[in-house]
Structure 1
Amino acid sequence: MPVDPLDVRILRLLLEQPRTSVREYARILGTARGTLQARLERLARTGVITTAGPRISPAALGHPVLAFVRIEVTQGGLDEVAAELAAVPEIIEAFSITGGGDLLTRVVARDNAHLEDIIQRLIRMPGVVRTRTEIALRERVPHRVLPLVESVGREAVGDGQRAAG
């Protein structure tokens, strides 16, 4: 979905000040509250904004170990295995992928022994052929979207200038 410079300013503000009210966002942006609300609804409806909830730290919940587990699945078993993965609370994300394996999961655990228990549970699932686990040592670039938003914003401004010129 194309975004314009106001959309970019709204997204930047949402990322930088997520707990601010819509009224305050409108004041900061110098736009009418109704305009801002309509933009937010459009950005949500088109899938640009996917959540408004807080970001929860698994480590703060007692699960400091983060691992990425690649799972190879029997042919035709992807949907069934994915459904089984959804029942494992320590799997916080799962993606079907290309390359080595069929699924890539992001798994959190209390400690390495707990991680081994989770992996053993995965291995026992019908349709799982094998797994490969990589433990994250340290987060080097935290989850972020602001640099992408700013890049898209620069492109939107550039496109607007080219269209005017």
Structure 2
Amino acid sequence: MSSSKLDQIDRKVLDILQDNAKITNAQLSKEIGLSPAPTLERVKKLETSGIIQSYHAKLDPERVGLGVTTFVMVTLVGHKKQVTDSFVAKVNTIPEIIECHHITGDGDFLLKVISKDINSYQKLMLEVINEIEEVANTKTMVILSTFKESKALPIP
């Protein structure tokens, strides 16, 4: 199912679910103007097509003891597929790395890393990330404040 096959009701369902994934089917059906059965059918269709991938609880990092968030630009030692695949496999085992993006520009990857505090972050960098043999160089940007952070996609 592509975005061109999404009708206005599908788009409204997606907007509502991105804002409140815990909404009941009854309430969702009221908001989109359909009865509950066709509403549930649309949601199931969006799930099985892969447009809706999952549902999550958004946590407050500070309230769970995670006070430092950084972006780390990583340059690899080479660009062969084996090097990239090995790096990605290792990154996927590190829970503090919450995002990993293959990028263009000065670096090869951009990581979003979350840690308890600056000491924990430093230890993670020195003892884990910089010890990955495929890593040639890292450059860290510490997030001081966040003014916008949305997981909601603008539905075209």
Q: Deviations over 1:2-59 (max 9, x none)?
A: 2211012112221333322112211332212221122112222333222112122332
Q: 1:123 is matched with which residue: 130, 133, 144? A: 130
Q: Secondary structure at the match of 1:43?
A: helix
Matched residue, 1:95: 101
Q: Secondary structure at the match of 1:35?
A: helix
Does the CA contact (< 8 Å) of 2:102 and 2:108 recur in 1? yes
Identity of aligned residues (%): 23
After superposition, residues 75-154 of structure 1 pair within 5 angstroms as 75=78, 76=80, 77-120=83-126, 121-145=128-152, 148-149=154-155, 152=156
Report the residue type matching 2:121 in the other structure. L
The yes-or-no answer on 1:38 pairing with 2:41 is yes
CA–CA distance in structure 2, aligned partners of residues 57 and 78 of structure 1: 32
| Range 52-61 or range 119-128, more displaced | 52-61
CA–CA distance in structure 2, aligned partners of residues 126 and 143 of structure 1: 34
What is the TM-score normalised by the length of structure 1?
0.82
| Range 106-115 or range 32-41, more displaced | 32-41
Report the residue type matching 2:84 in the other structure. L
What is the TM-score normalised by the length of structure 2?
0.87
CA–CA distance in structure 2, aligned partners of residues 60 and 100 of structure 1: 34
Matched positions, count: 149
Instruction: Name stretches of at least 5 consecutive residues in structure 1 with no aligned partner.
Output: 153-165
CA–CA distance in structure 2, aligned partners of residues 112 and 60 of structure 1: 16
Matched residue, 1:161: none
Query: Hey, which bits of structure 1, 4+ residues long, moved more than 4 A?
Result: none
Matched residue, 1:162: none
Instruction: Name stretches of at least 5 consecutive residues in structure 2 with no aligned partner.
Output: none
| Range 99-108 or range 10-19, more displaced | 10-19
The yes-or-no answer on 1:67 pairing with 2:70 is yes
CA–CA distance in structure 2, aligned partners of residues 44 and 37 of structure 1: 11
